[in-house]
Amino acid sequence: MSETTLTERYVSEIVRRIPANQRQDVADELRTTIADTIDAREETDPEQAEREVLTEMGDPISLSAQFADRPQMLIGPALYATYIRLITILLCTVLPVFTVVMVAIDVLDGAGAGAILGTALWAIVGAGAQIIAWTTLIFALLERHRRGAQRSSRVEDWSVDDLAEVPERDTGGTGAWAALAGHIVFFALIVWQHLARPFRTEAGEQIAILDPALWSGWIWPALIGLLGAAVVQVLRIAARGWTRRLVITYVVVDVLIAVPFIWVLYQQILFNPALLAEVNQDWTTPDEVYTGGAVIVAIAALSGTVSRFWQLRR
């Protein structure tokens, strides 16, 4: 029997939740098992047989726990699928709304840019952690009080109609090469502007664009992070996509890049004071420009991390 869209959606939902090195073998095994089971039901319409077989196999999120290297013991297979879906819904709906409301309150109260930035970061990190922690606690308690019949009934509520479409998998192609080039170019520009001092003042002095004082501290974590990010992209290309280890490494190097830039922007020490004096003349750059830049960097770093984990789930 040829592979069908419904079967592929089911297989995709399972294999994207297990380690990358197991995915191909598990996918082949599942396709073979499903096809053989469907073919064994000779008197049943193939499409109807396929739906019955997939329904009997159960929720793919729960089934994926059987193929994973690590057991999901805090929250068992019966509740794990519902737990993951609820966490995703809360983080994608409640958290953004809560963040916007908290920032809006600060704005209406006339709070400064620093206070607004602090509120936004606290809302994203603090409230997000609270959502995950309390939801996990509630489901863990439910798991401890459920018994065999109750647990199995939860899985049986699943339907093949809940399957999502098969997503396009990241294969470490053009996007990875573009990201690799971007990290290398960014690294080279930072070093080049410091060595070449490309800006010439009216007095004829050549100066760097970024504050030279950064080379005594803050610039080094960012440069190490950029080199680390380039290495991650090379490994991503070699692995033909994201793996869990690569995503975790990416998060670490992304923090090394983002945190220094967020801090120096917020402290208004990114650019060379001599450059600002030459360019701005009698005009002073508003604090909101630097704070806005810091917020943009923080949002870009966070969205990049979320995007990587999302691609890993595929």
Residues 188 and 154 in one domain: no
Q: Which two tokens stand for residue 45?
A: 């319409």
Q: Which residue has the higher pLDDT, 25 or 281?
A: 25
Instruction: State yes or no: pLDDT of 152 exceeds 50.
Output: no
- Per-residue confidence (pLDDT) for residue 13, from 0 to 100: 82
More confident residue, 284 or 165: 284
Looking at residue 153, its pLDDT comes to 43
- Are residues 62 and 127 located together in one domain of the fold? no
pLDDT at 25: 84
pLDDT at 146: 56
User: Do 91 and 158 have their domain in common?
Assistant: yes
pLDDT surpasses 50 at 268: yes
Residue located via tokens 């040829």: 2
**pLDDT grade, residue 2 (50/70/90)?**
very low
Query: 60, 84 in Cβ contact below 8 A?
Result: no
Q: How confident is the model at residue 147 (pLDDT cuts 50, 70, 90)?
A: very low
91 and 153 housed in the same domain:
yes
The yes-or-no verdict on residue 132 having pLDDT over 80 is yes
Given this model, what pLDDT does residue 150 score? 44
Domain count for the chain, please give it.
3
172 Ramachandran zone, left/alpha/beta (phi>0; psi -120 to 50): left
Q: Could you list the residue range(s) of the whole structural domain that residue 215 is in?
A: 174-313
Q: In this structure, is residue 46 part of a structural domain? A: yes
Shared domain for 305 and 186, answered yes or no, is: yes
Whole-number Å distance between alpha carbons of 73 and 299: 34
Instruction: Answer yes or no: do 96 and 198 share one domain.
Output: no
Q: Are residues 62 and 183 in the same domain?
A: no
Ordered DSSP codes for 284-306: ---HHHHHHHHHHHHHHHHHHHH
Q: Is residue 156 a part of any domain in this protein? A: yes
Tell me whether residue 169 is in a domain: no
* Same domain as 106, residue 55: no
Q: Is residue 100 part of a domain?
A: yes
Q: In this structure, is residue 207 part of a structural domain?
A: yes
Q: Tell me which of 276 and 226 has the higher pLDDT.
A: 226
pLDDT digits over 69-112, tens only? 544 456 766 677 777 877 887 788 777 877 877 777 777 767 77
Confidence category of residue 255, pLDDT binned at 50, 70, 90? confident
